[in-house]
Structure 1
Amino acid sequence: MINQFIDQNLKRAKYKILKDGTYYADVPRLRGVWANAKNLEDCRQELREVIEGWLLAKVHSHESVPGFSFKFSPRTLKHA
């Protein structure tokens, strides 16, 4: 479920090469999600980690996430 969300959003990522030669990527529908690295592969890996952290922070704070649903049980909330 989490990996599927990450993969879907990696496909939506916008990449560009900056003037300093580094790679920049963001996911417009996920506010604040971006990455910057020396090469495309590292940028993509960093973006993957940023998306995962962003998603976990949203779930932990019980915020809605576009394209992701998770049902909380009382037991789940107790351990959050």
Structure 2
Amino acid sequence: MAIRFILSDYVEVAIAQAIYDKLEDGTFTGRIPICKGVIAFASTLRECQDELRSTLEDWILLGLKLGHSLPVIDNIDLNKEPSLELMDTV
């Protein structure tokens, strides 16, 4: 049975939708259109990618804590109430 980490999957799918632009001053900006307000700026593309991932992770955690409705991305819905699953005994 494959182990699935829903938060990690959500971050990866969201990051795959990121749009990056090089600004006139040579710096970079990145955003994830489906995640309103998730935007980052940095001197290099790599730094911008790292900053965007960090911003997204903070945005998700804050949204969950405050009970905000997060967008469903690639059929991953973080808005569902958690449910308990029975574990097989060892």
Structure 2 length normalisation: TM-score? 0.75
**Higher helix proportion:** 1
Please give the root-mean-square deviation of Cα atoms over the aligned residues, in Å.
Answer: 1.3
The equivalent of 1:31 in structure 2 is 36
1:20 aligns with 2:28: no
The equivalent of 1:71 in structure 2 is 81
Given candidates 7, 12, 33, the residue that maps to 2:12 is: 7
Q: Cα offset for 1:4?
A: 1.1
Q: Which structure has the greater CA radius of gyration? A: 2
SS in 1 for 2:29: strand
SS in 1 for 2:56: helix
Percent identity between the two aligned chains: 30
Q: Structure 1: give runs of 5+ residues left out of the alignment.
A: 74-80
Q: Cα offset for 1:10?
A: 0.8
- Structure 1 ranges of 4+ moved more than 3 A: none
